[in-house]
Amino acid sequence: MTVVVAVESPGGVLVGCDAFVGNADSRDVTVAPKWWRRAGLLIAYAGDILVPQVAACAPARFRRRVLESDADFVTRYARALREIHRERRVSFGQTDYLIAYRDGAYLVQSDATVVRSAHGYAAIGAGEDFALGSLATSEGRPPMARVTAALEAAERHATQVARPWRFAALSAPQDPSPPTAGLSCP
């Protein structure tokens, strides 16, 4: 198991995770973060150790459709991910997924639908309750401080969370509309 935390901000999403690898009987750490990237998405996982095999099969050429909302795009990817789990015979329900895209953090449900928290933060994995409590009480602090504090809270109280921490930032897209200052309408 592991813990993954995401905090949304106007500039994008900051994601952090720990390095725990193991189970109730053994503990080790990994040098790799618990996520992969595809099509502008950051897909983080906590749970089944077979997930890196799934990641190797994840759709590489996944594109957002014209006029498709962010949530619909993330949901379509989550459904493709669930199908890969079926093909590889890896239980989808034994892994928690958090997908960050643009300025949103989405939790993947067991039916491959996605939920974006109204609070602007999310967590999955061991110690997620401790991480969420930390995030709830740290509103107004910078994203890096919030994510770090949440990881530390999870480490303090959950045996399946271990340093070192890994971080990734996704930038929100800039407004494509041209500036209108100084322009006059005919």
Task: Please give the backbone phi and psi of residue 143, each rounded to the nearest 5 degrees, phi first.
Answer: -55, -45
Which residue bears the tokens 């994510």? Answer: 147
Q: What is the pTM of this model?
A: 0.90
Q: How far apart are CA 19 and CA 181, in angstroms?
A: 48
Convert the pLDDT of each residue in 87-102 to its tens digit. 888 888 888 999 999 9
pLDDT recorded at residue 96? 93
Token readout for 127 is 């110690």
Q: How would CATH label the architecture of 3-171?
A: 4-Layer Sandwich (3.60)
Helix axes 143-157, 128-136, angle to 10 degrees: 140
pLDDT tens digit sequence for 18-63: 999 887 788 888 888 899 999 999 999 998 778 877 887 888 789 9
CA 137/CA 132 separation, integer angstroms: 9
What is the four-CA torsion angle of 134, 136, 139, 142, rounded to 10 degrees? 40
Domain segments of the chain: what residues? 3-171
